[in-house]
Structure 1
Amino acid sequence: MSTIARSPIRDSVRMPTAWTRPGHIGYVGPDLRPDTHAPPVAMLTVGLDGPLIVHTSRGLIRTGSSFTPARTAHRVVATEGWILVLFIDPSSAPATMIADEMTDAAGTFGLRHRCERELVELCGEPVVDPERIYQRAIAGPHLPTDPRIARLTATIRDQPSDALRADQIAANLGLSTGHFLHLFTQHCGTTFRGYQRWNRMVSAITNAVNGHDLTRSAIDAGFATPSHFSESFRAMIGLPATKMLGAGIHFDLGPRIIAPR
């Protein structure tokens, strides 16, 4: 159980805020009570007004902050007030850069971030600064990634709607499909397919926030059907996209505004 005293986040932040940046996606606001979900990227969650209860397949964990590896089914509930949720793009910051900052563990879950107090304080500022939160969450310099994988992840982020096939990518790299998929997962901590789906979801939501029709945004992002998008979003985030978009959240898109096609 965390012994860190929480600050009154709800009194200092004007409204819930979500943001997208090239290396991370974050949210500071009330607990939206998602269902059990398994994002294809790693995530850090911090209770800003009280401890968290992490629901896992092996039971409940009570902690001030938790690190969840990519593709791990779980559900986090805030016991009180607001939370910080930070999704980490594995091509920008390997999951180990946050996992190494956790001071305890329960199975695959990291517990109690070393800078938990500072993260709570940063989220209590009148204006949330995504870059400062991100830099406080990660540890040390970015470790080098295989340049072939780095180029590929950049292509996926920039062109999320493109239907890239593992066998074609592998052939272009002179690798077997199995070796390529292993290499991608080794460097990114998530699957090739999962990383593509994640970036399509980010693209669809970004365009919807920019005022475009959600259904059209989902199709333009590369989802086969609106229902495919809805199912993918719920599996990754744990709630319907319409609920998140209708929650009165201020969306800070920063420099990464994806223009509709």
Structure 2
Amino acid sequence: MSEKLPRYEGDFLAWTGGGLFIGCGGGQVAPHAHYAIQLVVGAPSGLKVQEGSRGAWKACAGALVPSRAVHSIDVSDCEWNAVLFIEPETPQGRTLAARLNGQIERLEGEELAIRVDSLGHAWRECRNSKTVQQAAQALVDWLSGTLPHLPSDPRVLQAIEHIRGRAGEPASLEEVAGVVHLSPSRFRHLFVEQTGMPLRTYQLWRRLLLAWEFLMQGASVASAAHAAGFADAAHLTRTCRSMFGLAPSAMRMAGPLSDRLREPPAAQG
């Protein structure tokens, strides 16, 4: 979304290799491109997609946008909408990139509608981040025809835990490789094989996840940036624009998931 859409309100989630904006409101987004492959859906109808900066607007239930493809979306007539990002290096990303071959694909169909409804139900009714993430990932897995893939090598799992324990502070390849007793070159190959992305990209995803978690809890952009290991708010904004095509200030964190995070704990009886 762009900073000209202050009425857009919702939530953000991220996981290894992907992320999701889901919310209500907003309007027409200025033409832009970003590194991640994008899946956008509008419910129950009303989504419009433009290819390039001057292409014709076309209505659809959803659209797959390849990496670095200039496009725009209009969600003015949608009751709610979701924008999912898929890292091109992941198994799902590689499959979708080959399928799209650089062209935007508009999506329709009853099965898509059923899966979008499931995502909407998870977000609005369940109000549970894990359930929403599972519904979003299931939608991507269905479109890509790939099976869910999680790191299973104990050395990679140990490395991931080490990275998470640093609370946003980046770790060098040599440091993480040393933790799991591998050479940097061997660890680099193993990590990409297991996660679908280089260590540096994975760490950036982790820092973005942390930043948006703080934003969903009500933190300012500046404090979220600092807590997640970014140099300042401008650094976080540039990174979000590069990876998602929007700035953190474009979205007001006021969806069911962020509202739940800010609810006071229940009184103990």
Using structure 2 for the length normalisation, give the TM-score.
0.64
What residue ranges of structure 1 are gaps of 5+ in the alignment?
1-14
Letter of the aligned partner of 1:252 in structure 2?
L
* Paired residue total: 234
2:225 paired residue number:
218
**In structure 1, what is the Cα distance between the partners aligned to 2:187 and 2:105?**
29
Are the structure 2 counterparts of residues 211 and 80 from structure 1 closer, same or farther at C-alpha, using a change threshold of 3 Å? closer
**In structure 1, what is the Cα distance between the partners aligned to 2:37 and 2:231?**
25
Are the structure 2 counterparts of residues 53 and 151 from structure 1 closer, same or farther at C-alpha, using a change threshold of 3 Å? farther
2:148 is aligned with 1:142:
yes
1:207 shift after superposition? 1.3
Are the structure 2 counterparts of residues 149 and 124 from structure 1 closer, same or farther at C-alpha, using a change threshold of 3 Å? closer
2:240 is aligned with 1:233:
yes
Letter of the aligned partner of 2:230 in structure 1?
F
Equivalent residue in structure 2 for 1:199, among 191, 202, 206:
206
2:180 is aligned with 1:184:
no
**In structure 2, what is the Cα distance between the partners aligned to 1:255 and 1:149?**
32
1:7 paired residue number:
none
1:27 shift after superposition? 1.0
**Secondary structure of 1:53's partner?**
strand
**Secondary structure of 1:242's partner?**
helix
> Contact 2:86–2:93 at 8 Å: present in 1 too?
no
Equivalent residue in structure 1 for 2:215, among 199, 203, 208:
208
Deviations 1:110-147 (A, max 9, x none): 65377322134335659255244443443475335352
1:3 paired residue number:
none
The aligned runs of 1:105-116 (5 Å cut-off) are 105-107=100-102, 112=107, 115-116=111-112
> Contact 2:50–2:56 at 8 Å: present in 1 too?
yes
1:200 shift after superposition? 1.3
**Secondary structure of 2:100's partner?**
strand
The aligned runs of 1:22-33 (5 Å cut-off) are 24-31=19-26, 33=29
**In structure 1, what is the Cα distance between the partners aligned to 2:176 and 2:105?**
34
2:173 is aligned with 1:166:
yes
**In structure 1, what is the Cα distance between the partners aligned to 2:223 and 2:120?**
36
Using structure 1 for the length normalisation, give the TM-score.
0.66
Are the structure 2 counterparts of residues 176 and 127 from structure 1 closer, same or farther at C-alpha, using a change threshold of 3 Å? closer
What residue ranges of structure 2 are gaps of 5+ in the alignment?
1-7, 127-131, 263-269
**In structure 1, what is the Cα distance between the partners aligned to 2:232 and 2:14?**
26
1:20 paired residue number:
13
2:255 is aligned with 1:250:
yes
> Contact 1:46–1:116 at 8 Å: present in 2 too?
no
Are the structure 2 counterparts of residues 86 and 159 from structure 1 closer, same or farther at C-alpha, using a change threshold of 3 Å? farther
Q: Which moved more, 1:146-155 or 1:162-171?
A: 146-155
1:222 shift after superposition? 0.6
Deviations 1:145-165 (A, max 9, x none): 352334434444554412211
Letter of the aligned partner of 1:20 in structure 2?
L
1:96 paired residue number:
92
1:234 shift after superposition? 1.8
> Contact 2:207–2:228 at 8 Å: present in 1 too?
yes
Deviations 1:72-104 (A, max 9, x none): 45444136523321245899xx5428957x9x6
**In structure 1, what is the Cα distance between the partners aligned to 2:141 and 2:12?**
17
